[in-house]
A and B are shown apart, each in its own frame.
Chain A
C-alpha cells in the first residue's frame, strides 16, 4: 500500500510539473501572439502622441497617488508626476493625515489654497477634510486632498476616486517613477478597443539601480544587488509573459496597484478598493469583472507591453520576505473571498482559465513544493532515490526555468520593451541571475508563501510595514 501511495504521489507531482510547464508554454505563445497583434495596432510613441495630442476627443485621466509621511520624497515625486506627457489629466495627491511635514511642504511649494469642492462619497473612505489647489497656473493640474487617517492605501485611493472627475483614473504610489509616455501607451489600448475597456495594466520594473534626472529614468539599468536583481527578472517574466499572455484572451487576473488604469464608473459601481483587503488591487479587479458579467456587459482588459512605471522594490531578504508573506495572505484571501468565480465559465475566461490556473499553479505550488522537498529529504535518508532519473528530472526543470527567463530576455530585446542603458551587460547580469534563481530566490519565495498561508489560517494579525526606501540614484549635474 505504501508503495502504491509513493508511486501515486510521484506521478501526481510529475503530471503537475508537466501541466505547469505546458501552461507556461501556452502563455509564452499567447504573449508572443498578443505582442504581434499589438505591434500592428501600437505605432511608435511619437505617432501615438501626434494622434492623441491634437484631438479634443482624447479621454481625460485622473492620476491618484495616496501619500502618508512622505516628506523626504514628496516634492520629487509630485514633480515627477507633473512631467507626464498627456493632453488632459489631473493629479490627485491624497494626504492620509501625515504626521510629518508632507502637507506643509506641498502647500508651500505649490502655493496651495483651500477651494470649495463638489464631492460625492461614491465609494467608502474616511472623511475628506479639505481640498486644495494651486494659485499658480503652471500647477493647475494638481489637486491635493487632505483626509482623515485611514491607515491603508486603499482608503486613500478611494478618497481620490471620490474627488476624481474623469472617466478614467490611474492609481499609483507617490514613490513610483512614471515614464512620460505612459498615459499615451495605456490610453491607446482604450482607444483601439471596440469593447469598453475597464482596466489596463502597465509593465512595471524595479527602479533600484536606475539613474533618475528631474523625475525621469534617464538610464535604465539592472540593479547591482542580488535581491532586487531576482525581482527584476521576476517582474519581466510576470508582465511580459504572464500578464500579456492572459490579456490576449481577455483574462488578465491582476492590474497592479503600483500603476494601473481603471474605468471610474465601473470601479465606483463595484465599490472601489476594499481597505480591509490585503490584495486590494486583485480584489477590486475581480469585483469589476463580476459586476460587468452580472450586468451582462462586454468588457476588455489590456496590458501594455512597454515599461511604463519604475518602482523601488525590497532591497533586503527581510523586506522581501515581509512583502511576499503579505502577498501570500492576499492570495489566500482572494481565493476565499472570490471562490464563486473559480472554475465558473459564467465569468468568462477569467473564471474558466485564469483563476483555476492561479489556484492550481500559484496557490497550491508552494505547498506542493514544500511537501516535495520534505519527501525528497526522506527518500535520500531512506536511500530510495534513483539518482539517474532524479538528475534528469531535475535537469529538465532547471533547463526549463532558464528557458523561460531566456525567452523573456529575447522578448524584451525584440520588442524593445525596456531601453536599457547597456543592453549587453544588463542581459548578462540577468542571465547570471537566471542560473542562480532556482537555488536561492525560489526557495525563499516558497518558504515565505507557506508562512504567509500559515499566518492567514492561524488568524495572525497582519502588520503592514512600509518598505524602507533607499531612494534612486540621481544624475549629477
Chain B
C-alpha cells in the first residue's frame, strides 16, 4: 500500500510540473504565428522521442549484457558436455543418469528444475541448437539427445513457447522442435493449425508431415498452398518428405495434391516434388491436369519434364500432339521428355519442332535432342547438317561446340584439363 501511495504521489507531482511547464510554454508562444507553434511542437516531439530512444538503448544494452553473462555461464558449465553429446564417443545409448553425470548434475538433481527460468532455458536451447545444426549432429545418438533435452525440461518449455507466446516465439520454438525431432502433442499441432498466421500454420503442417505417421496431407484445407506458396515451401516440403522416406513412411499422393491446387505456382511445386521423389506410381493422375490446364504453360512444362524424367512413356502420344501447339519454352521441355523416352516414334516430332520455329533457342534444343536420340537421331542430325543452308552452317558449328562443352560439363576432370581443344569462343 505504502509503495502504491508513493508512486501515486510522484506521478501526481510529475503531472503537475509537466502541466505547469506546458501551460507556460503555450503562453510563451501564444503571440507567435502558427508555423512557429508547429515548429516548436515538432522540436519537442523529436526531443521526447530521442529521450525515449536513449532510455531504450540503455535498457537494451543492460539486457544484452545480462544475457551475455548467462550465456557465458552456461557455456562454461555445460559447453564441453554438449560437445561430448555430439561426439562419436557418445554414440552408444546412455541412461539418463549417465547423461546427468556428463553434465555434472548430481543424482538427486534429476527430475528437478536444473535451469532456473525461461531465459536460461532459451539460452541453453540456443547454445545446443547452434551445435546441433552442424554436420556433427548426424553422428549423435537420437535417444541420448531426447533424454538430455527432457532432463533439462526443454520439450515442455518449447511446447509452452509454441502455444503461449508471440508469433516470433512460436516460429522459433517450432523450428527447434523440428530440428531436434521432438515429439509434439496433437494439442499443440491443432493449436498451431488454427493460428491466424500462415507462417505458423505451415510450420505445424511441415512438422506434422515429418513427425507423424499419417500418410496423407488430409488434415489441411485443399487451398492451403494457393494462399501463399514460395520456394521455401518447396524446400520445407522436400525436407519433410525426405525424412519421412528415410523413416520408411509412405509419402502422400502428390499428384492428387497437384490436382487439388488452383494456383499454377503451387501446382508446379507438387509436380516438381513428384519428379524429385520418383513418384512414377501416380503419373497417370497428371493426364487430366495436362489436358484441362493447357493454358498454364509453366505447369505443362513441369508435367512434361516430370513425365520425361520418370519415363512415363504412356504420355508420349499426348506430348507429341501438344508439341507444336505450345509456346517455345514448353516445346523445349516436351522435346527433352520425348528424347528421354527415345522410343523411336517421336523423331519426326523433333524434326517438326526444329523446322516449325524461328526461335534459335528452340532450334538449338531440337538439334540437341536429335543428337542425343540414339543412332536414328544422330543420322537425322547429320542429314540436316549436310543439307543446311549457308546461313545455318554457323548455327551447326556453334551447336557442335556446345556439345563439346556439354561433354566437358559431364566429365569434371576433363573440364579442368588444359588439353581440352578450344573450338569456339563467343
Contact = CB atoms under 8 A, between A and B. Distances in A.
A40 B417 CA distance: 48
B309 to A, nearest CB: 14
A364 interface: no
Given A39-B168, A58-B235, A135-B416, A192 B422 contact: no
A392 B232 contact: no
A57 B426 contact: no
B230 interface: yes
A113 interface: yes
Contact of B422 (A11, A40, A116): A116
B235 A396 contact: no
Contacts of A109: none
B358 interface: no
Contacts of B416: 133-137, 140
A115 B418 CA distance: 8
A394 to B, nearest CB: 9
A32 to B, nearest CB: 12
A406 B425 contact: no
Nearest to B361: A120
B43 interface: yes
Contacts, number: 140
Interface stretch (A60-68, A169-177, A280-288, A407-415): A407-415
Given A18-B38, A389-B36, A392-B39, A116 B424 contact: yes
B175 A43 contact: yes
Interface stretch (A92-100, A124-132, A464-472): A124-132
Contacts of A6: none
A458 interface: no
B66 to A, nearest CB: 16
Contact of B231 (A57, A130, A140): A57
Interface string B222-252: 0000001111101100110000000000000
A435 interface: no
Contacts of B42: 21, 396, 399-400
Given A50-B133, A389-B32, A194 B43 contact: no
A413 B60 contact: yes
A243 B46 CA distance: 22
Contacts of A113: 418, 420
Contacts of B40: 392, 396
Given A129-B426, A414-B60, A406 B53 contact: yes
B162 to A, nearest CB: 14
A50 B425 CA distance: 39
Interface centre among A18, A39, A55 (most CB of B within 10 A): A55
Contacts of B426: 117, 119, 127-131
A193 interface: yes
Given A193-B230, A410-B57, A399 B133 contact: no
Nearest to A400: B46
Interface centre among B53, B228, B398, B405 (most CB of A within 10 A): B53
B47 A128 contact: no
B310 to A, nearest CB: 17
A127 B392 CA distance: 21
Contact of B199 (A21, A40, A403): A40
Given A190-B231, A393-B39, A115 B199 contact: no
B33 interface: yes
Contacts of B133: 46-47, 50
A348 interface: no
A391 to B, nearest CB: 10
B50 interface: yes
Contacts of A14: 35
B235 A191 contact: yes
Contacts of B61: 413
Interface in A117-162: 117-120, 127-131, 133-137, 140
Nearest to B48: A403
Given A43-B172, A59-B231, A410 B53 contact: yes
Contacts of A135: 416-418
Contacts of B422: 114-116
Contacts of A130: 425-426
B26 interface: no
Interface string B402-420: 1011001000100111101
A103 to B, nearest CB: 15
B171 interface: yes
A396 B234 CA distance: 52
Nearest to B130: A46
28 contacts: A18-B38, A39-B168, A40-B199, A51-B235, A52-B235, A55-B238, A57-B231, A57-B238, A59-B231, A115-B408, A116-B420, A117-B424, A118-B402, A119-B425, A128-B426, A129-B425, A134-B416, A137-B412, A137-B416, A192-B230, A388-B36, A389-B32, A392-B32, A392-B43, A399-B47, A400-B43, A403-B46, A407-B49
Interface of B: 32-33, 35-36, 38-40, 42-43, 46-47, 49-50, 53-54, 56-57, 60-61, 130, 133, 167-168, 171-172, 175, 179, 199, 228-232, 234-235, 238-239, 265, 361, 398, 401-402, 404-405, 408, 412, 415-418, 420-426
Report the 10 A-B pairs with minimum CB-CB distance, sorted nearest first: A396-B39, A128-B426, A50-B133, A403-B46, A191-B232, A113-B418, A119-B426, A118-B402, A410-B53, A191-B231
Given A40-B199, A399-B42, A410-B53, 12 more contacts: A14-B35, A18-B38, A40-B167, A50-B133, A114-B422, A115-B420, A116-B421, A392-B39, A403-B49, A406-B53, A410-B56, A413-B61
